[in-house]
Amino acid sequence: MSVLKYFDLYFKLISAGVRAQLQYRFAFVMRIVGLITSYTGTAVTMWIMLYQFQELGSWTFYEMLFLFAVAVLSWGFCIILFFHFRGLDTYILNGTFDRFLVRPINPFFHFMAMKFDVASFGQFIFSIGIFIWVSFELQLDWTIGKSFFLLLSVVGGILIQGGLLVIISALAFWTTKSEQFYWVAMFPARNLTNYPLVIYPKAVQWFTAFVIPFGFVNYFPAAVLLEKETPFFPENIGYYSPLVGIVFFAIAYYIWMLGLKRYKSTGS
């Protein structure tokens, strides 16, 4: 099948997914409310924290909000595109995964196109609101170059976090578990990166820069945009964010395909 045909198919599949989701209108609204509530909760926590202390590792409240908003924005896209990957184990356990394997299209593509969670609309409202507020407070000068860089690093962030979701789902091919890995590893790790990495022990910083490159999701790009220092790391390392995203996602895709191959030889 040609790439163009795949694009066409992708839009048809996701629009079906969106229509399916919109059948449950109340649930849809509640989810948006829920997402906004929980992000506001984190922001309020940050505010209280800095109410007494003013600074966290040389980051002020508004700078931290900015850092957080970058993460929320790319995570919002990630929820839309990849969040359902974490549930691959359920598909395998109840046998519905085989459905993706009896059809004449790429199973990764098919699985990815199966859901398109538009409820993360709430995240966009939240993060864009924060961007406007913070830009005003910190008097950020949004040049075209900076806006473009923000856009690119959001893409990088989507690929990095999406890649990790893909890797987590691939674990189901070996261990028949994936959802749990998300809650054990990725959920806490995401929380970790809501705060500037500089406050963590060096080993953790190094790990989040070069092993699971969460640092490139928000910390490094935000440091570039806010002109903040990133101790222990080269200046402007944030510019590599899109590249890191592409490489990491490619690795993730490879691991997923490897897992699929294993699934096809063990059937579980």
Q: Which residues bind another protein (CB under 8 A)?
A: 1, 5, 8-9, 12-13, 16, 19-21, 23-24, 26-28, 30-31, 33-35, 37-38, 41, 44-45, 48-49, 51-53, 55-57, 94-96, 98-99, 101-106, 110, 177, 180-181, 183-185, 187-189, 191-192, 195, 198-201, 204, 264-268
**CB of 205: closest distance to another protein in angstroms?**
10
For another protein, which is the closer residue by CB, 103 or 211? Answer: 103
Alpha-carbon torsion (72, 149, 234, 58), positive or negative: negative
For another protein, which is the closer residue by CB, 28 or 206? Answer: 28
**CB of 131: closest distance to another protein in angstroms?**
22
**CB of 22: closest distance to another protein in angstroms?**
9
For another protein, which is the closer residue by CB, 149 or 263? Answer: 263
Distance (Å, whole) CA 32 – CA 42 = 16
**CB of 80: closest distance to another protein in angstroms?**
16
Distance (Å, whole) CA 263 – CA 19 = 31
For another protein, which is the closer residue by CB, 145 or 188? Answer: 188
Cα 76 off chain centre by: 7
SS3 content of the chain, % helix, strand, coil (to 5): 80, 0, 20
Map tokens 């209108």 to a residue: 25
Distance (Å, whole) CA 268 – CA 256 = 15
For another protein, which is the closer residue by CB, 199 or 258? Answer: 199
CA distances from 231 to 171, 199, 205, 217, 228 (A): 34, 10, 10, 17, 9
**CB of 210: closest distance to another protein in angstroms?**
18
CB 119 within 8 A of CB 19: no
Identity of residue 71: A
* Phi, psi at 59, each rounded to 5°: -100, 130
196: left (phi over 0), alpha (psi -120 to 50) or beta: beta
**CB of 180: closest distance to another protein in angstroms?**
6
For another protein, which is the closer residue by CB, 8 or 235? Answer: 8
For another protein, which is the closer residue by CB, 149 or 214? Answer: 214
For the chain, counts of helices (H) and of strands (E): 13, 0
**CB of 6: closest distance to another protein in angstroms?**
11
Residue among 217, 204, 206, 205 nearest 244 (CA) = 217
